[in-house]
Amino acid sequence: MLQKDFRRLALILLFAPFALWIILLILLPHIGMIALSLREKVAPRVYEYGFANYMDFLNEPIYWNTLLRTGSMSLLVTALALLIGFPVAYYIAKLAGNRTRGALFLLCLIPLWVSDLIRAYGWILLLRETGVLSSFLQWAGIVDHPIEFLYNDVTVVIGLVYTVMLFMIVPLVSTLDGMDNSMIEAGYNLGGNGFTVLRRIIIPYAMPGIVSGCIVVFMLTAGSYLTPILLGGKNSSWFTEQIYNQFISRFNWEAGAAFGILLLLFTSIVIWLGLKLSGQTLANTVAKS
Amino acid sequence: MTNTPTYDLECIDIAKSFGAVRAVKGVSFNIPSGSFFSILGPSGCGKTTLMRMIAGFEEPASGDIRIKGRSVLGTPPNKRNVKMVFQHLALFPMMNVFENIAYGLRCNGVKNAEIKAKVHDVLERIALPDVAEREIHQLSGGQKQRIAIARCMVLDPDVLLLDEPLGALDLKLREAMKIELKQLQHQFNTTFIYITHDQSEALVMSDHVAIMNQGLFEQIGTPQELYHHPETAFVAGFVGDSNRWSGKVKASDGSGGTVETDQGLQMVFTAAGGRTIAEGTAVEVFVRPEFIHTVRRTEADGVPGEADNRMDGVVDSLLFNGANSRVLVRSSRGELIEADVTLTGHGDLKPGEEVCLFWSSRQAMCFPSEGSA
Amino acid sequence: MLAQDKATPFLWGYRLYVAAFFVFLAAPLVAASIFAFNDSVFPALPWQGFTLDWFFNDSEPKLGMFHDRRLLRGIYYSFVIAAFVSTLSVTVGTTNAFLFVRGQFPAKNFFYILMIVPLVIPGVILGISILVLASNTANFLENRFDMELELLRPGIFLVVMGQFSFITTITSLVITARLKKFDESMEEAALNLGASRARVLRTITLPFLRPAMIAAGIVAFLVSFENFNTTLFLVGSEAPLTITMYDRVAKVGSTPVLNAVSFALIIGSGLLALVSILVQRDKTVR
């Protein structure tokens, strides 16, 4: 009997920090934000409850265009990151020798822990009008006047792909690493060519890693703030910028909260769709990487 | 408890269930001091649960466990003087050999100087005096085994439990460790309780063996008793190899009789355990391969007097394994019989030869079939 | 592209691609680092010669990072925040690991998902939601009880809470993975040898978890140090380094002192990441 009481006590003690964390820092704040998003300031200290903030969003094309733009560009970034990252991850996991594998993986990891800010700053130094690339092109005689590479969509996409790339590669490498080489050999042995082996064996096996990478990458891109602002300039029209503006510049917290909820809903729906379409669950993808 | 207890361990009718599964259903036994006792049974028979109850990791639902005459029910595992060698040894990889062995002593608050002396003493006794400073992953399989035992023995336990510790070793090492374990037990003169599903481990090392099946002890006895005088069909089938027939008793005279097998073979038998088996009872008959003599049909006249059972057949194949070679004989009724043969390399039996098999009724052990009238 | 020994031109092309990828990966970091050593007031070409002024010079116009008060204060706050966040999140991560590996309770899978969720919530939203709750609570306390709780106003405490809210998921996952590999018979063996439960935890289980706890702590530290999105909304007057640097980039424009800081951070993060990998690659894993 004592043993049982002890176990129950231990369980409660272990549950307490978890519950405090989830309730106080995740659930309550989000409930509070939903509540806040549902009220509108009609006069100082006078509030009305309703969907006015959401109606504003729908009635103002700039807002929902920005959200759609953020979403579609995030999807594009995710797809590019997967296309560019998969061969690299495959090389690291399967083709590189034992020693180079560790070194390459480490090379991948080091930029992972360097701030977004520094990475974006590095790109600025490379791409701006007085930057390295522009100077190099002039020096090489390819162009005769400085070129501004910053402040356009292509640069934003490149910068975002760069920023999130490592979150794609790391889960891919760890799933591909767990794959037995003999599975690939068996695929060839049974008469498959390179393409069918890739499509029928490697990709299905790597699916949890692919989905995990895509979820994290999509979420990070849609929620990113620094890269679009710094590389795209003030007119980058990124949705997080709208949230920031409502909160900090206009001090309209109600609208900002509504925008936050919309962004959260939007990313959640995309992630949910991605999980449904690929037949994976949150627990066996993100939790494993 | 005024009289000195004669048993290191007594289990009195202990039982344990997990949900609807009754893992152990009322097991009683006593183990005298200083003996090597094995519990042998197929996997899932409840032997591990039984051992975990003795060690204190599980509480029995009913019954009593006494160590040196004192009940240990309700005593937590860290207060019982029963030590255990785990299936995968569970040596602590973050400590070296010295610290592993010293762990229990430190828990008991023994002084450093004494710990040092005791650890070195026990390392001497297991013949590994120089490994104290090694890390666990630097040891060989056999050395790990001995360290795991030393880690327990340094605490002077009343009883040492061993949970299939040889399972992870390769065959050669396992054979060597069997002998070594027996010697270690003799040297420490402590009661060892050894759990295994490997009959040869149990038979070679033990003073007494308990055969466990489906949560019950089928029989407790010396290895020889179990082998030659099994009390149940399960024991006869589980311990050693046997040829096995099902049949019905045709005639009974109390201690034996005649049986007709399902294939129609008439056989004279002895009822196991001195029981009487009535006529018409469905029975199982077991005959060990080494008690069956195989003779070429042409030489069948020199029949040994005792061999009152005879069967004709054709050699199906030879199973050559040195001194343990066997012959597979297909009888005229179609069943396959195994018999030990000595193969000398000259004029041995060949597949296709006609042979006669002989065995004595004393070696034909007969049991009523389970679950039938 | 799959077999080890296929046509060489293809393999060489593949290798070239991987090499190009790593150049792409390194380019901005190299650019950010290299101009820290350029003897010019602009982080741009042409190269004016090597200097360490951007680290050590003590006067304008080339004020080095080690003499720049605001940057140093930013680094200090970042350190304080990161230290709190990693300590807290490793502690809760460890209890979470025990909860989910050892605990048996109803709806365990649901709670496990709940534990992962913070990782897939955009950091901006975590930031504003915590800001909203804290401000509402603070306002409520002020209006109703006339109590002023500075703690709930933007500042270090809220930044720590905001970062803690999602970093704990990371530490929990790292430590859970390690605890799952633990052979529970080791705990039973220690109990059997006479150790109390507390002693088993102290001498067996926690030492086994230590590499994962250290690695999780380093990861938490780095993620906290570089965090921007969540911090942005919660920051008060004590701005950590990323916020200070962002203000500089956005308002003052780039100066090589930022390159010096970047260089120091790249080296520092790299070394820490290396340590975390070395710690995890230990000999006790079977």
Residue B341 Cα distances to A66, B80, B328, B356, C9, angstroms:
89, 51, 10, 13, 66
* pLDDT, position B2: 44
Each residue's pLDDT tens digit, A208-226: 888 888 888 898 888 888 8
Q: Please indicate if any CB of chain B lies within 8 Å of the CB of C104.
A: no
Predicted confidence band of residue A93 (pLDDT cuts 50, 70, 90): confident
CA distance B338 to chain C (A): 42
Tell me the backbone φ, ψ of residue C40, rounded to 5 degrees: -150, 155
What's the CA gap between B133 and C204, in Å, rounded?
Answer: 19
Chain C positions touching A14 (Cβ under 8 A) are 95-96, 98-99, 103
In the predicted structure, residue A79 carries a pLDDT above the cut 90: yes
Residues A215 and C120 sit within 8 Å (Cβ to Cβ):
yes
Q: Please indicate if any CB of chain C lies within 8 Å of the CB of B79.
A: yes
pTM for the full predicted model: 0.83
Question: Looking at per-residue confidence, does C3 or B20 come out higher?
Answer: B20
Q: What is the distance between the terminal CA atoms of chain A, rounded to a whole angstrom?
A: 40
Name B294's bridge partners.
B357
Residue C133 is nearest to which of A28, A184, A240, comparing CB atoms? A28
Chain C positions touching B91 (Cβ under 8 A) are 189
What's the CA gap between A229 and C250, in Å, rounded?
Answer: 9
Q: Please indicate if any CB of chain C lies within 8 Å of the CB of B117.
A: no
Residue C193 is nearest to which of B57, B93, B155, comparing CB atoms? B155
Residues B23 and B16 sit within 8 Å (Cβ to Cβ):
yes
What's the CA gap between B322 and A127, in Å, rounded?
Answer: 81
Residues B282 and B289 sit within 8 Å (Cβ to Cβ):
no
Chains near B (3 or more Cβ pairs under 8 Å): C
Residue A198 is nearest to which of C2, C95, C162, comparing CB atoms? C2
Residue A117 is nearest to which of C21, C91, C246, comparing CB atoms? C246
Mutation test of the interface with chain C: which of B88, B92, B139, choosing the one with the most C Cβ atoms within 10 A? B92
Residues C114 and C245 sit within 8 Å (Cβ to Cβ):
no
**Is C263 buried (19+), middle (13-18) or exposed (0-12) by CB count in 10 A?**
buried
Residues C29 and C266 sit within 8 Å (Cβ to Cβ):
yes
Number of folded domains that form chain C = 1
Q: Is residue C39 part of a domain?
A: no
| CA-based nearest residue to C127, from C234, C225, C237 | C234
Predicted confidence band of residue A244 (pLDDT cuts 50, 70, 90): confident
What's the CA gap between A107 and A110, in Å, rounded?
Answer: 6
Helices (H) and strands (E) in chain B, counts: 8, 20
* DSSP states along B302-337: S--TT--EEEEEEEEEEE-BTBT-EEEEEETTS-EE
In the predicted structure, residue A6 carries a pLDDT above the cut 80: no
Amino acid at B94: M
CB-based burial, B162-193: b 16+ in 10 Å, e otherwise: bbbbbeebeeebbeebbebbbebbeebebbbb
* DSSP states along C82-96: HHHHHHHHHHHHHHH
CA atoms within 13 A on the CB side of C48: 15
In the predicted structure, residue C2 carries a pLDDT above the cut 80: no
3-state secondary structure of A7: helix
Q: Which domains does chain A have, with CATH numbers?
A: 55-288 (1.10.3720.10)
In the predicted structure, residue A230 carries a pLDDT above the cut 50: yes
Chain A positions touching C118 (Cβ under 8 A) are 25-26
In the predicted structure, residue C59 carries a pLDDT above the cut 80: no
| CA-based nearest residue to C234, from C139, C138, C134 | C134
Question: Looking at per-residue confidence, does B97 or C269 come out higher?
Answer: B97
Q: Is residue C151 part of a domain?
A: yes
| CA-based nearest residue to C120, from B56, A274, B327 | A274
Residues C65 and C260 sit within 8 Å (Cβ to Cβ):
yes
CATH of the domain at C184: 1.10.3720.10
**Is C128 in Cβ contact with A260 (below 8 Å)?**
yes
Chain C positions touching B193 (Cβ under 8 A) are none
**Is C193 in Cβ contact with B92 (below 8 Å)?**
no
Q: Please indicate if any CB of chain B lies within 8 Å of the CB of C208.
A: yes
Chains near A (3 or more Cβ pairs under 8 Å): C
Residue A118 is nearest to which of C17, C129, C266, comparing CB atoms? C266
In the predicted structure, residue A69 carries a pLDDT above the cut 60: yes
Residues B342 and B325 sit within 8 Å (Cβ to Cβ):
yes
Q: What percent of chain C has pLDDT over 70?
A: 93
CB-based burial, A47-81: b 16+ in 10 Å, e otherwise: eeeeebbbebbeeeeebeebbeebbebbbebbebb
* pLDDT, position C7: 57
Q: Please indicate if any CB of chain C lies within 8 Å of the CB of B94.
A: yes
CA distance B15 to chain C (A): 21
Q: Please indicate if any CB of chain B lies within 8 Å of the CB of C198.
A: no
Structure tokens given for B158: 């009343």
**Is C193 in Cβ contact with B83 (below 8 Å)?**
yes
Q: Which domains does chain B have, with CATH numbers?
A: 7-234 (3.40.50.300), 242-368 (2.40.50.140)
Name B83's bridge partners.
B160
What's the CA gap between A213 and A221, in Å, rounded?
Answer: 12
**Is C191 in Cβ contact with B94 (below 8 Å)?**
no
Each residue's pLDDT tens digit, A8-60: 888 888 899 999 999 999 899 999 888 888 887 777 777 777 787 788 788 88
Structural domain harbouring C148:
68-253
Amino acid at C36: A
**Tens digits of pLDDT across chain B (373 residues):** 445 557 888 888 888 888 888 888 888 888 888 889 999 998 888 888 899 899 888 888 888 999 888 888 888 888 888 999 988 888 998 889 999 999 999 988 889 999 999 999 999 888 888 888 999 988 888 889 889 999 999 998 989 999 888 877 788 888 888 888 888 888 888 899 999 988 888 888 899 999 999 888 989 999 999 898 888 888 888 888 888 888 888 887 767 788 888 887 888 887 766 667 777 788 888 889 888 888 888 876 666 666 678 888 899 888 888 888 899 998 888 888 889 888 887 878 888 888 888 888 888 888 887 654 3
* DSSP states along B80-128: SSEEEEBTTB---TTSBHHHHHHHHHHHTT--HHHHHHHHHHHHHHTT-
* pLDDT, position C283: 46
Name B162's bridge partners.
B85, B194
What's the CA gap between B305 and B303, in Å, rounded?
Answer: 6
Mutation test of the interface with chain C: which of A7, A14, A53, A224, choosing the one with the most C Cβ atoms within 10 A? A14
* pLDDT, position C157: 92
CA distance B214 to chain C (A): 24
CA distance C147 to chain A (A): 20
Chain C positions touching B79 (Cβ under 8 A) are 194
**Is C194 in Cβ contact with B104 (below 8 Å)?**
yes
Each residue's pLDDT tens digit, A173-210: 888 877 777 777 777 777 667 777 777 778 888 888 88
**Is A25 in Cβ contact with C122 (below 8 Å)?**
no
**Is C129 in Cβ contact with A32 (below 8 Å)?**
yes
Name B245's bridge partners.
B285
CB-based burial, A118-145: b 16+ in 10 Å, e otherwise: bbbbbbbbbbbeebbbbbebeeeeeeee
What's the CA gap between C94 and B265, in Å, rounded?
Answer: 69
Residues B220 and B209 sit within 8 Å (Cβ to Cβ):
yes
**Is C207 in Cβ contact with B103 (below 8 Å)?**
no
* pLDDT, position B302: 63
What's the CA gap between B268 and B308, in Å, rounded?
Answer: 7
* pLDDT, position B372: 42
Residue B107 is nearest to which of C185, C199, C286, comparing CB atoms? C199
Chain C positions touching B94 (Cβ under 8 A) are 204, 207-208, 284
**Is B92 in Cβ contact with C191 (below 8 Å)?**
no
Structure tokens given for A278: 């690929």
Chain C positions touching B119 (Cβ under 8 A) are none
Structure tokens given for B243: 């040829």
Residue C228 is nearest to which of A194, A225, A248, comparing CB atoms? A225
* pLDDT, position B1: 42
Lay out the sheet containing B309-319: strands in order across: B293-296, B354-359, B309-319, B326-331, B336-340
3-state secondary structure of C50: strand
**Is C266 in Cβ contact with A114 (below 8 Å)?**
yes
**Is C246 in Cβ contact with A135 (below 8 Å)?**
no
**Is B300 buried (19+), middle (13-18) or exposed (0-12) by CB count in 10 A?**
middle
B 119-158: CB under 8 A from C:
135, 137, 151-152, 155
Chains near C (3 or more Cβ pairs under 8 Å): A, B
In the predicted structure, residue C216 carries a pLDDT above the cut 70: yes
Stated as kind and residue range, the H or E segment containing A277 is helix A253-278
What average pLDDT does chain C have?
84
Q: Is residue C27 part of a domain?
A: no
Q: Is residue C38 part of a domain?
A: no
Residue C186 is nearest to which of B76, B92, B151, comparing CB atoms? B92
Helices (H) and strands (E) in chain C, counts: 12, 0
Q: Please indicate if any CB of chain C lies within 8 Å of the CB of B19.
A: no
- The DSSP code for B14 is E
In the predicted structure, residue C258 carries a pLDDT above the cut 80: yes
Residues C255 and C32 sit within 8 Å (Cβ to Cβ):
no
Quick one: closest CA in B to C209, which residue? B94
Predicted confidence band of residue C1 (pLDDT cuts 50, 70, 90): very low
Chain B positions touching C191 (Cβ under 8 A) are 57, 76-78
